[in-house]
Structure 1
Amino acid sequence: MTKVLLVDDDADLTAMLSQYLMREGFDVHTVLDGEAGVAEASSGAYNIVVLDIMMPRLSGIEALRRIRAANDVPVLMLTARGDNIDRIVGLDMGADDYVPKPCTPGELVARLRAILRRTEAREPVGEASSAPVLQAGWLAMWPGSRRATWRGQPLELTGTEFNLLEVLARHAGQLVSKQEISMQAFGQPLARFDRRIDVHISSIRQKLGALPDGRSWIESVRGQGYQLLKE
């Protein structure tokens, strides 16, 4: 059973969401503050974390930073509707997606399942040596085990970053439109004013570093899309 950690200081909301999630087949544990959320999320016992941004004592953004320092568990952020700054900061720090509050339980479940579909694929035990590798220049990716290396060194990626980079790697040297990236990485069309792809690509660029001439390994064409250079 999929284990969900729900971190939100609104006790009434967490109770309502917990009941709905359990009816949908999830195993849910709730905590009401960021510090407890970090401790639980860092235990490695959960498949996914739902994390509210606005909390006392320890904000969701700081909690996310500490969680990411411990592991790469998928994180869905709950943000105030219309607060784009929090969303961008959360995505930039490694959140996999966000849902504006107030949200319906059905929307939350749909987002959780979409993230889990993207991040829970795992390589069968004993098949590591024969697992297919996706190679694009210095980049090597093993989609089955969600593992990647860059210049022969482990490349630490969030689940969403892995999906985006995998799309670009499969089309290395070619321009891929944002709409096509969204469909392949997220399984849904790109909404107007949605900057998730741009924010995650910015994070991936930092992890890959720059070419000797200062250019990024991931080039952008304004208003069109991105391409991963082959070198």
Structure 2
Amino acid sequence: MLSNGVLSDLQDRPPEILIVEDDPGLRVLLTRTLRENGFRATAAPAAPDMWRAMKEQPFDLVLLDIMLPGANGLDLCRTIRRNSAVPIIIVSARGDEMDRILGLELGADDYIPKPFSNKELLARVRAVLRRTTNGPIEHAVAREALQFAGWTVDLRRRALTSPEGAEVELSGAEYDLLISFLENPQRIIGRERLLELSRTRLAEASDRSIDVLVSRLRRKLSDQAGGRALIRTVRGAGYMFSAKVERA
């Protein structure tokens, strides 16, 4: 069963998981495994069923297969991410590094290559939900907001607002990375340290996956900051968040 901490952060209700998988046997197995371990699970065999389910109710996490009839899971991931910050775990037999990197680039929060055990699936689902609901740094949650260069991060809502007042959608991994930078402003953070901070969300984290996440976050910040580089690359050392951070 889920820990009390996860359940309380989800308002004492079982997390809602959407399974998008065309293989009937695996779809039944995933549904049964999740339900037997304290989750609510809805299954969709193809993209139209997925969109229908997402219109009918909100979900706390999406398990998304890559190879689907009439659609590519990576394309679906991109489309979901344009409109929602719901955590996405890609599930696929295509487990090579480039597919994992592409999935992260498109906004996925984790990637599980087939075959996998039920224990691994549950561990990754719980880790993503824990990071999404609790935030990456426990002592930061006691404060209500962090501010930098006109931007505001509402720590209770896990929301990022631009200087113009627009809310910017972040995936769970992007949010975690941003908080890591905001807790260490104007300091160089090496890739190894960022890997440590990301491993509970990205079980297969690598230097390349960290670079992808930094690139995604940097692009979202610069799009709203007139091109100002808030995250600087320090050659041979890592990355540095250049703005001053204030706690509100």
TMscore range, shorter length: 0.7 to 0.9
Identity %: 34
Q: Give the deviation of 1:222 after TM superposition.
A: 4.5
CA distance in 1, matches of 2:62, 2:199: 18
In structure 2, what residue type is equivalent to 1:148?
A: L
Partner in structure 2 of residue 137 of structure 1 = 149
In structure 1, what residue type is equivalent to 2:186?
A: G
CA contact (8 A) 2:110 2:202 kept: no
CA contact (8 A) 1:174 1:228 kept: yes
CA distance in 1, matches of 2:202, 2:21: 29
| TM-score normalised by the chain length of structure 2 | 0.79
Q: Give the deviation of 1:202 after TM superposition.
A: 0.9
CA contact (8 A) 2:44 2:50 kept: yes
Instruction: Identify which range, 89-98 or 133-142, moves more after superposition.
Output: 133-142
1:17 pairs with one of 30, 49, 53 = 30
Partner in structure 1 of residue 132 of structure 2 = 119
Match of 2:112, SS? strand
CA contact (8 A) 1:177 1:225 kept: yes
Partner in structure 2 of residue 90 of structure 1 = 103
Match of 1:209, SS? helix
CA contact (8 A) 2:173 2:201 kept: no
Give the length in aligned residue pairs: 223
CA distance in 1, matches of 2:201, 2:75: 29
Partner in structure 1 of residue 93 of structure 2 = 80
CA distance in 1, matches of 2:67, 2:201: 28
Map 1:43-122 to 2 at 5 A: 43-121=56-134
Match of 1:220, SS? strand
Instruction: Please give the per-residue CA displacement for 1:187-229, whole angstroms capped at 9, x wherever unaligned.
Output: 47986745322111111111111777x6732122355422111
Unaligned 5+ segments in structure 2 are: 1-13, 136-141
Partner in structure 2 of residue 147 of structure 1 = 159
- Counterparts in 2 of 1:191 and 1:76: CA distance versus 1, 3 Å: closer
Instruction: Identify which range, 147-156 or 44-53, moves more after superposition.
Output: 147-156
CA distance in 2, matches of 1:223, 1:21: 43
CA RMSD in angstroms comes to 2.6
CA contact (8 A) 1:179 1:189 kept: no
Q: Give the deviation of 1:53 after TM superposition.
A: 0.7
Match of 2:101, SS? helix
- Counterparts in 2 of 1:14 and 1:106: CA distance versus 1, 3 Å: same
CA contact (8 A) 1:37 1:63 kept: no
Match of 1:195, SS? helix
Q: Give the deviation of 1:135 after TM superposition.
A: 2.1
CA distance in 2, matches of 1:156, 1:162: 9
In structure 1, what residue type is equivalent to 2:47?
A: G
CA contact (8 A) 1:146 1:162 kept: yes
Q: Give the deviation of 1:6 after TM superposition.
A: 0.6
Q: Give the deviation of 1:178 after TM superposition.
A: 2.3
